[in-house]
């Protein structure tokens, strides 16, 4: 009897010790998860902190800086929800509907008008928080031996240079939000599976719908969710399908709203060759071969991320056939990855989750299933890159058979294989971090970015056009340094002509070449190029407006007014055309009519400084010094150079 009591007491003591040990291990796990997650936030801010000194770049102008709806701040929000993505920029229906993204931009503008530093900070903040909560979530559901590869995956994702476009370009806030909300949605669905609380499911559906309103690419969640549930839960396949099918409801609602606002379910039907080089493919085989060539280039950037470019449009990437060795190699690699993904399903090998995450991202952006607005872009690989890094890290741990049960960071050094992987990952992270920090500087402004990338993309019609266009824009109407103006216009002419050599019917470039000659006082050549642009597109409001400017410059004010009115008929929200009409009316001493035109411009775009400035002049000529002073002050507040 005494012997039995001793055995029971010994077993109780042993159970108590095991319980205490488990508690200590659990506390140790929580402690190190907290340390790793905070480390990811710190690294995110360190590598992207220098973006705070950057300005607006690329699409930031069309969706923020020069978007006359976003520039109204919170007042513009109702119109944002009733119009297309770039409606506030030259009245364009671009076939995109992203009201939540523009709402955030409008709020940012309301709080800090024309202060890009705040918007850049928000990009970094949301990115770092997505890494913080994403890592913590996966760390809680994954086995302890996989904490190391999980941390390495998130660390490399944070510092990978291919993400500099997404984090450094304010416009790509939509991409950051979609990824962050996808991770949040996975976490909520995991909780729903284990706790069976209906509100988890409700909030996941709500978050998914919200992410669609940030960017259409959030629909990737529909494919990522079942893969996640399969690898990380014990749900039966039929239950996974049923749970996923519920998310078709917000998809249907979103597309119904989209159809009502834009007039179509899937946006613009035609894609031009300047936007997507795949349009230049002569056969379907060429298109597919070029797609795989591009997919190989993405993989190359994941391993060796240089050179990085803001633009990969026609004809920077060549159209190739299946005789191209890179295209063949890409088909082989992606086929092998697909097979590995299939093989991983049976035993739920975690490296397979990365493969499917990558392939799902490619399904939307590869152009294999639908031709989208571009053939390639670093931002397009944001989702897929997470899958690639996950596969490389977890695949390495699986194939070299690293097994580490301890959670403490310092115990990672006790495993020789893990130690070498750790050193390698840290070394790569340091190199990548310096590259990210350096690349961020290229995104300071348009001119810096275009000039930096121009030598790396000599065959791109759009790269030449963008640089030429920016140089012409900088000349403007107020540049007083004649030598600098001459240099800028000569360089602009060179790049615009180079662009037309690559793509002769590039109408935007033809128009801009006319502007280049106009800025230099060569009205004859300017007229020729405007007329050429109008021959290609008789409804080009911008070319009509520019042609009218020549009439204005040569004193033919009535003819100019008629041309400006025609431009407004084609684009009723063309604020610049209204300003130009007002200027013409002012020059013909029709001051009251000119004021009405300026008021129209301000109604469309309240931030149009020139409208206020010229209106003050009209009131001055009418003898109303009080209003003249009032509008002059408003003009100076918007533009100190006036």
What pLDDT, in 10s, does the model give residues 203-255?
999 999 999 999 999 999 999 999 999 999 999 999 999 999 999 999 999 99
Rounded Cα–Cα distance for residues 12 and 8 (Å): 6
- pLDDT of residue 319 exceeding 50, the answer is yes
**Alpha carbons 206 and 200: distance in angstroms, whole number:** 10
pLDDT, residue 9, reads: 54
The total of other beta-carbon atoms located within 10 Å of residue 78's CB is 11
How far from 451 is each of 76, 443, 444, 492, CA to CA, in Å?
Answer: 35, 11, 11, 12
pLDDT at residue number 145: 81
How does residue 8 score in pLDDT terms, banded at 50, 70 and 90?
low
3-class SS of residue 494: helix
Please classify residue 19 by burial: count the beta carbons closer than 10 Å to its beta carbon, then call 0-12 exposed, 13-18 middle and 19+ buried.
exposed
d(C-alpha 634, C-alpha 611), whole Å: 10
Kindly give, in sequence order, each residue whose CB lies less than 8 Å from that of residue 226, ignoring residues fewer than 6 positions away.
240, 241, 243, 244
Mean pLDDT score, 500-524: 95
Dihedral, CA of residue 266, residue 268, residue 270 and residue 273, to nearest 10: -110
Amino acid 7: pLDDT: 56
- Compare 466 and 413 and report the one with higher pLDDT: 466
Share of the chain above pLDDT 90, in %: 81
Rounded mean pLDDT, 440-463 = 97
Q: Please state which of the ranges 6-15, 220-229, 547-556 shows the lowest mean pLDDT.
A: 6-15
The H-or-E segment that residue 532 falls in is: helix 523-536
* Cα–Cα nearest to 63, from 125, 30, 105: 105
Tokens of 437: 């920090």
pLDDT of residue 413: 66
Confidence of residue 6 (pLDDT cuts 50, 70, 90): low
Distance between CA atoms of residues 68 and 602, nearest Å: 10
pLDDT on residue 510:
97
CB atoms within 10 A of CB 420: 12
Q: Are 619 and 631 in contact (CB under 8 A)?
A: yes
Q: What is the mean pLDDT of residues 321-342?
A: 98
| pLDDT for 2 beyond 60 | no
- Integer Cα distance of 464 and 495 in angstroms: 5
Q: How many CA atoms lie within 13 A of 389 on its CB side?
A: 27
- Over the range 118-150, which residues count as b (16 or more CB within 10 Å of their CB) and which as e? ebbbbbbebbbbbbbebbbbbbeeeeeebbbbb
With a pLDDT cut of 70, the percent of the chain lying above it is: 93
What is the helix (H) or strand (E) element at residue 461, kind and residue range? helix 461-475
Question: Phi and psi of 322, rounded to 5°?
Answer: -80, 5
pLDDT tens digits for range 59-99: 999 999 999 999 999 999 999 999 999 999 978 788 899 99
Residue 407: the pLDDT is 45
Of 62-76, 158-172, 471-485, 580-594, where does mean pLDDT reach its minimum?
Answer: 471-485
CA angle 400–403–409, rounded 5-degree value: 115
User: Is the model more confident about 399 or about 117?
Assistant: 117
Q: What is the pLDDT of residue 234?
A: 93
Q: Which residues contact 159 (CB under 8 A, 6 or more apart)?
A: 43, 47, 429, 432, 433, 436
Q: Is the dihedral of CA 244, 249, 252, 255 positive or negative?
A: negative
Quickly state the pLDDT bin for 22 (edges 50, 70, 90).
low
Euclidean distance between CA atoms 524 and 546, whole angstroms? 13
561-597 per-position pLDDT tens digit: 999 999 999 988 889 999 999 999 999 999 999 999 9
CA pair distance 205, 191, nearest whole angstrom: 14
- pLDDT tier for residue 29 given thresholds of 50, 70 and 90: confident
Place of tokens 């709203």: 257
Residue owning tokens 């760390």: 139
Report d(CA 132, CA 119) in Å as an integer: 20
For residue 340, CA distances in Å to 337, 368, 460 come to: 5, 21, 36
For domain 538-642, give the CATH number: 1.25.40.10
Write down the pLDDT at residue 23. Answer: 56
- Mean per-residue pLDDT over the chain, rounded: 92
Residue 92 sits at φ, ψ, to 5 deg, of: -90, 130
DSSP tag of 476: T
Among 622, 623, 562, smallest CA distance to 594 is for 622
- Structure confidence at residue 420 (pLDDT): 87
Residue 408 pLDDT greater than 90, yes or no:
no
Q: How many C-beta atoms lie closer than 10 Å to residue 627's C-beta?
A: 15
Q: Which part of the chain has CATH 1.25.40.10? A: 460-537, 538-642
CATH number of 460-537: 1.25.40.10
Q: How far apart are alpha carbons 469 and 450 in whole angstroms? A: 10
Confidence of residue 21 (pLDDT cuts 50, 70, 90): very low
What integer is the mean pLDDT of 276-296? 97
> Residue 494: which of 458, 534, 523 has the closest Cα?
458
Written as one string, the DSSP assignment of 200-240 is HHHHHHHHHHHHHHH-GGGGGHHHHHHHHHHHHS---HHHH
Please give the Cα distance from 541 to 534 (Å, whole number).
Answer: 9
Tell me the C-alpha to C-alpha distance, in Å, between residue 73 and each of 83, 106, 110, 493, 499. 15, 4, 4, 37, 37
As given in the structure block, the two tokens for residue 326 are: 């890179």
State how far the alpha carbon of 61 is from the alpha carbons of 68, 89, 114, 488, in Å.
Answer: 10, 9, 11, 21
Contact criterion met (CB below 8 Å) for 631 and 615: yes
Do residues 313 and 274 lie in contact, with contact meaning Cβ atoms separated by under 8 Å? yes
Residue 590, both tokens: 């029709």
Tokens of 586: 């002012």
* pTM: predicted TM-score of the whole model, two decimal places: 0.92
> Phi and psi at residue 173, in whole multiples of 5°?
-55, -35
């Amino acid at each position: 009897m005494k012997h039995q009591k001793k055995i029971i007491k010994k077993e109780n003591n042993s159970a108590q010790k095991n319980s205490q040990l488990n508690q200590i291990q659990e506390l140790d796990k929580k402690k190190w998860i907290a340390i790793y997650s905070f480390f990811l936030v710190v690294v995110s801010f360190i590598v992207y902190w220098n973006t705070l000194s950057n300005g607006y770049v690329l699409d930031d102008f069309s969706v923020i800086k020069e978007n006359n709806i976003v520039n109204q701040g919170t007042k513009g929000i109702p119109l944002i929800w009733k119009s297309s993505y770039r409606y506030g920029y030259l009245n364009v229906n671009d076939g995109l509907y992203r009201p939540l993204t523009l709402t955030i931009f409008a709020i940012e503008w309301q709080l800090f008008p024309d202060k890009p530093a705040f918007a850049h900070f928000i990009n970094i903040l949301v990115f770092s928080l997505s890494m913080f909560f994403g890592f913590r979530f996966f760390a809680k559901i994954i086995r302890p031996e996989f904490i190391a590869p999980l941390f390495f995956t998130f660390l490399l994702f944070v510092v990978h240079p291919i993400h500099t476009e997404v984090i450094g370009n304010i416009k790509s806030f939509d991409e950051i939000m979609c990824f962050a909300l996808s991770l949040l949605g996975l976490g909520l669905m995991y909780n729903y599976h284990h706790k069976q609380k209906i509100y988890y499911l409700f909030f996941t559906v709500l978050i998914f719908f919200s992410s669609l309103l940030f960017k259409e690419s959030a629909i990737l969640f529909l494919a990522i969710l079942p893969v996640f549930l399969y690898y990380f839960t014990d749900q039966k396949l039929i239950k996974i399908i049923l749970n996923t099918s519920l998310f078709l409801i917000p998809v249907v609602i979103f597309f119904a709203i989209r159809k009502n606002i834009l007039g179509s379910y899937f946006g613009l039907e035609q894609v031009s060759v300047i936007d997507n080089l795949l349009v230049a493919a002569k056969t379907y085989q060429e298109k597919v071969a070029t797609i795989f060539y591009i997919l190989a280039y993405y993989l190359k950037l994941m391993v060796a991320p240089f050179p990085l470019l803001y633009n990969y449009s026609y004809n920077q990437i060549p159209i190739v056939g299946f005789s191209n060795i890179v295209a063949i190699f890409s088909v082989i690699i992606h086929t092998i990855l697909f097979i590995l993904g299939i093989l991983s399903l049976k035993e739920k090998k975690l490296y397979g989750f990365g493969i499917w995450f990558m392939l799902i991202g490619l399904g939307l952006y590869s152009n294999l299933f639908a031709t989208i607005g571009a053939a390639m872009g670093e931002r397009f690989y944001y989702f897929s890159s997470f899958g690639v890094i996950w596969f490389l890290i977890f695949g390495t741990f699986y194939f070299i058979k690293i097994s580490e049960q301890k959670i403490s960071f310092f115990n990672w050094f006790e495993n020789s294989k893990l130690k070498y992987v750790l050193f390698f990952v840290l070394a790569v992270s340091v190199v990548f971090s310096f590259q990210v920090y350096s690349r961020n500087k290229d995104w300071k402004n348009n001119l810096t970015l275009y000039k930096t990338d121009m030598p790396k993309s000599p065959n791109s019609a759009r790269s030449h056009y963008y640089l030429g266009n920016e140089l012409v824009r900088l000349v403007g109407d107020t540049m007083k340094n004649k030598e600098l103006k001459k240099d800028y216009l000569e360089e602009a002419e060179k790049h615009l002509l180079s662009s037309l050599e690559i793509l002769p019917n590039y109408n935007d470039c033809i128009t801009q070449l006319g502007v280049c000659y106009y800025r230099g006082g060569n009205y004859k050549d300017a007229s020729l190029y405007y007329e050429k642009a109008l021959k290609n597109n008789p409804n080009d409001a911008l070319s009509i407006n520019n042609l009218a400017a020549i009439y204005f410059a040569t004193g033919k004010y009535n003819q100019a007014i008629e041309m400006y009115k025609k431009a407004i008929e084609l684009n009723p929200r063309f604020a610049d055309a209204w300003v130009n009409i007002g200027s013409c009316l002012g020059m013909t001493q029709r001051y009251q009519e000119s004021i009405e035109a300026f008021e129209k411009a301000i109604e469309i775009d309240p931030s149009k400084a020139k409208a206020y400035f010229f209106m003050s002049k009209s009131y001055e000529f009418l003898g109303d010094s009080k209003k003249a002073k009032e509008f002059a002050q408003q003009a100076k507040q918007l533009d100190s150079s006036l």
